[in-house]
C-alpha cells in the first residue's frame, strides 16, 4: 500500500465579531476547544465586543457528531491520526486568517485567546505566525510539551496569562504543576498562572477583566 499527500484548495469557516477597519486597535484570534463550534463559542465574547475591538473565530476543520451518527455537531483541531500534518494545516489556515485581519485592520495589535484544545493549537502556531501577537490568554488548556524552539522564543516575548479551574476534570492539579515545571525549568518560560473557582468553562467576569488588562499591557 502506498500513501500520498495531496495539496488541495479548501474552504474553511471563520466567524468575526466586531468591526475590522482602520479604527480597529485590537484583534483577538479566538481558538475554540474540542467538540465546539464557533457559532456557540463566540457567545462568550459578544459582551466584550467594542467599536475598536474585533474577534476572529476560525472553525477547527475536523467536524463530527458529538453522539452517534446524528444530532449535535462539534469540531476539533486534530486527533492523533496524521497529527503533524494536521498541525501544518492549522498553521496554513491560521496564517490566512491573521493575514486577512491585518489587511482589513492595518493599525490593530493582535492577541490570542485559546480555550481547552485551542490553547495548545495557538501556542504551537505562535512560532509560525506571520503577525506578532502582543498577548496570549490560555484558558483551561494543557500546554504542549513538544513546543518547538521558534514558539518558545515567541512566547518568551509575549505576555501569557494562563487560567485553570479549581475543579477542572480534564486538567488535574498534578498535571498542571508538572507542565508548569517543564516550562519553567526546561523551557525557561514563566507565564502568569492563576486559578478560578470552577470547572472546564469560562468565567465571564475574569475573561472580561483579562481581555482589558492584556490589551493595555506594555509590550515586552
Per DSSP, the residues of 83-104 read: HHHHHHHHHHHHHHHHHHHHHH
What is the pLDDT at residue 9?
A: 85
What is the pLDDT at residue 166?
A: 95
Mean pLDDT in residue range 92-98: 97
What is the pLDDT at residue 219?
A: 57
C-beta of residue 163 within 8 angstroms of C-beta of residue 130: no
The domains of the chain, with CATH numbers, are 14-215 (3.40.50.1820)
pLDDT band, residue 82 (cuts 50/70/90): confident
What is the pLDDT at residue 160?
A: 97
> Is the predicted pLDDT of residue 4 greater than 60, yes or no?
yes
> Is the predicted pLDDT of residue 97 greater than 90, yes or no?
yes
How many CB atoms are located within 10 Å of the residue 57 CB?
22
> Is the predicted pLDDT of residue 102 greater than 80, yes or no?
yes
What is the pLDDT at residue 217?
A: 86
pLDDT digits (tens, 9 = 90+) for 17-66: 999 999 999 999 999 999 999 999 999 999 999 999 999 999 999 887 98
25 versus 1: the higher-pLDDT residue is 25
| Nearby residues of 128 by Cβ (< 8 Å), 6 or more positions away | 91, 95, 150, 151
Mean pLDDT in residue range 188-214: 96
pLDDT digits (tens, 9 = 90+) for 134-173: 999 999 999 999 999 999 999 999 999 999 999 999 999 9
Name the DSSP letter for residue 50.
B
Residue appearing with cell numbers 503577525: 131
- What CA–CA distance (Å, rounded) separates 139 from 33? 10
Amino acid at each position: 500500500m502506498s500513501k500520498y499527500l495531496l495539496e488541495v484548495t479548501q474552504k474553511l469557516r471563520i466567524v468575526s465579531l466586531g468591526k475590522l477597519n482602520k479604527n480597529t486597535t485590537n484583534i483577538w484570534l479566538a481558538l475554540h476547544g474540542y467538540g465546539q463550534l464557533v457559532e456557540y463559542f463566540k457567545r462568550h465574547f459578544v459582551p466584550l465586543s467594542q467599536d475598536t475591538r474585533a474577534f476572529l473565530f476560525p472553525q477547527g476543520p475536523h467536524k463530527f457528531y458529538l453522539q452517534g451518527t446524528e444530532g449535535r455537531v462539534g469540531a476539533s483541531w486534530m486527533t492523533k491520526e496524521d497529527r503533524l500534518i494536521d498541525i501544518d494545516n492549522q498553521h496554513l489556515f491560521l496564517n490566512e486568517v491573521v493575514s486577512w485581519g491585518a489587511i482589513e485592520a492595518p493599525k490593530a495589535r493582535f492577541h490570542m485567546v485559546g480555550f481547552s484544545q485551542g490553547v495548545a493549537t495557538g501556542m504551537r502556531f505562535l512560532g509560525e505566525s506571520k503577525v506578532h501577537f502582543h498577548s496570549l490568554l490560555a484558558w483551561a488548556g494543557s500546554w504542549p510539551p513538544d513546543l518547538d524552539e521558534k514558539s518558545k522564543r515567541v512566547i518568551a516575548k509575549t505576555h501569557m496569562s494562563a487560567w485553570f479551574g479549581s475543579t477542572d476534570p480534564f486538567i488535574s492539579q498534578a498535571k498542571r504543576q508538572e507542565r508548569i515545571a517543564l516550562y519553567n525549568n526546561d523551557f525557561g518560560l514563566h507565564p502568569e498562572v492563576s486559578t478560578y473557582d470552577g470547572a472546564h468553562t469560562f468565567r465571564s467576569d475574569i475573561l472580561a477583566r483579562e481581555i482589558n488588562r492584556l490589551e493595555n499591557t506594555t509590550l515586552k
